[in-house]
Chain A
């Protein structure tokens, strides 16, 4: 089966610094990868996605990098702000259907 996991359960970062959150996946058949942000008391919120035919995609202050060779995914947040404090999940799916498998989550704490 497919499994998606995270390297670090908690990341503490100084406000203004860049954050990097890592994720490993096990199923080489995974075609789509998504990062979600979950704030306390809320449901996960979509941040950015990437297809397996890409190795980098940029959004507003966020960049997702995909290394299919080692089945590794990362999310980079530039100039981390207090509002970025949350739990971040990576998720993966295969080409068929919309079923996502979520990783365990990394908590990001932004220090003022």
Chain B
């Protein structure tokens, strides 16, 4: 298996622009997580899905952030409009209910820079 796939790996945009991050979880996994990692705040859970349904979005910073999972093999995290403080590495992770308990497999991340 190729593991969790994220695209793009790097994104540089200007303040006010829309940014869309993409994730393909490991095939067969039923949980999908979006995290944000910064030096100041560490690794923060933004939102997670179970069987394509959002379960907990309490970590989403504000209305500028939205996430969707239209099917079991694809999810997006959108920021509109983007701001410089959104600059971070965004990770997607997936896990399997029947697998090792709470083991999440992380993608390589998308490094976002908002100028």
Bound-complex Cα distance A49 to B48 (A): 21
**With A43-B109, A97-B55: A104-B102 Cβ-Cβ less than 8 Å:** no
**Cα A93 to Cα B101 with chains together (Å):** 10
Check A98–B42 contact: CB distance below 8 A. no
A32-B93 in contact (CB<8A): no
A34–B93 CA distance with the chains assembled, in angstroms: 15
- Interface, chain A (partner B; CB < 8 A): 32, 34, 41-46, 49, 51, 89, 93, 97-105
Question: Using a CB–CB distance below 8 Å, which chain B residues touch chain A?
Answer: 4, 31, 33, 42-45, 48, 50, 55-56, 91, 93, 95, 97, 100-109
Q: CB distance B42 to A104 under 8 Å? A: yes
Closest 4 CB pairs of A and B: A43-B106, A102-B43, A104-B42, A46-B103
CA distance A56 to B106 in the complex (A): 25
